[in-house]
Structure 1
Amino acid sequence: MKDYKPSREDRLRALVDVGRSISASLAHEEILAQICTHAARLLDAESAVMTERRELCEDGTSPCLKVVATSPKASIGLGEVLSMEGSLNGRAITQASTLIVNDVMADDRTDLAVATKLGVRQVVISPLLYGDTALGTIFAFNSAEVREFDEGDSEILEAFAAQAAIALHNAHIFETEERRLQELTALRSAQDDNVLQLQSLVRAGMALNSRLSLDDVLQTLLESAREVINARYAALGILDNSGKRLERFLHSAIEPEAVLRMGRWPTGGGTLGIMLRD
């Protein structure tokens, strides 16, 4: 059995590294993975895993724990879901304290299915506490009897748990603010569209009540209609007394070259031609 004890300098250096990462612009996923890596190394553990509490999980269970970070070569993948009920992780959250179990399979609080799947023999688990709220857990484990975890290991893991809780809380704030910004941007865009539509309708109303020529009034109405429905082009054809030929053809946002290719007024083809024939 190993008897590894990290020096005070090792602990401080690891905690300082994580603190710098939290203060830097690293993505929170990188920070959480770094915490797991340091925790596994300083506890001389085979692996370290971090979970985040979810009130409602994809399979409909609630609450549960979702794996959000691991040390390298961990026997569990990101995104996997662990139960809170009837598990050591759940007990650590409920008690808001660190658990040390050096014979997992003999402990009646163990979720035997998960322990067997991961091959956990020894484990130390700390809740991620931000104030009075448990955001998840971090646990380090061995799949074979390496050495017993002790109170010194508990203190180290609790220090990392405190930093992980800060990182997760910051990530939640960032996600909330980003979502709020997206909602405000969408709302502002919708408001801008509404303002443009109202302005177009006002211009159309003013044109109808003005002394503009008929062509000017119709052109204003045409452009207002295009803006209100957010169309790329718009055209207005006015039939003569026979009802078979165009007397006027007005357009909005159609390129001059396209107008020249159509000739003086389009007749017999396209949408207008179909409407005339019908």
Structure 2
Amino acid sequence: MDKSLANRAAFSPAAFFDEQFGVTARDLDQVLGRAMARQADYADLFFEYRTHEQVRLEEGLVKHASVSTANGVGARVLAEDKTGYAFTDDVTIQNLDSAVRTANVIAHDRGTDSPARIPVPAAPRHDLYPVPRSFSEVPLERKIGLLEDLDRFARKADPRVKGVFASLSLENKVILIASSQGWVLGDLQPWAVATPRAPWTWSLGPGWPGILLHEAIGHGLEADFNRRKTSAFSGRIGERVATELCTVVDDGTIPRRRGSLNVDDEGTPTQRTVLIEDGILRGYMHDRLNASLLGMELTATAAARATPM
């Protein structure tokens, strides 16, 4: 990983992308200006740089060690209810211009209608995953030592253990969002601790079971489906949609939890949004486009944009 990621306290996503790819604040302004040249309501650029490190121990020997990086940038243009999106994994000013032109063609002109009001995000309100130092600062020998400790622990646990396979996987992600409204937000997002893997007896409660709930009804609570009236929850705010024992909350602000974010992929600070309260439908999850079309407040969601890589 680049050394500039090592000191989180002094880290600047904007300076990082400038250093890595030569993309300055002036470049961002000029590209976004061209994105708005065809009667668009809003445009933004989403940069992502991801570093992944893995070490694998098999039968007491290091059989695999690797470091890989991936990066990309997506350009989005909103024109009324139309969205144009294009991306490149080769971050240059020329490719940014090409992506913006493609996004503009997709969104195309929408006539002379008055522009929709696009909500502006507030400054980030929290730092949910403070990490004192990057994993790149930890020597490889120490990482291997951790795997060797696991190897010895597993062999001592039971004399029937004949083979041990242990691996360590680490990831950092840097994002930067620049908008046509003049604001620029960034974040450094380390990969949180993964869920343990083993057979368990479960009693479902708050937390990870929310993933099961999201796949069951979460997509139906997203504003775009309800704006198009294709969701079972369309037009039902204030109605009972579940038992009074059911309360569903979309909360991206719980510190040090997988899924929590300082800002989402549109640059909106995460928050706590009550969707269903005591069985009563209270609201939907709104991204920037649908919030503007419905005249509602942004609610922030990590699914606001597909990853550009």
TM-score interval for Structure 1 and Structure 2 normalised by the shorter chain: under 0.3
| TM-score, scaled relative to structure 2 | 0.19
Q: Which structure shows the higher helix fraction? A: 1
| TM-score, scaled relative to structure 1 | 0.21
Q: Which structure shows the higher strand fraction? A: 2
Give the number of the structure whose alpha-carbon radius of gyration is greater. Answer: 1
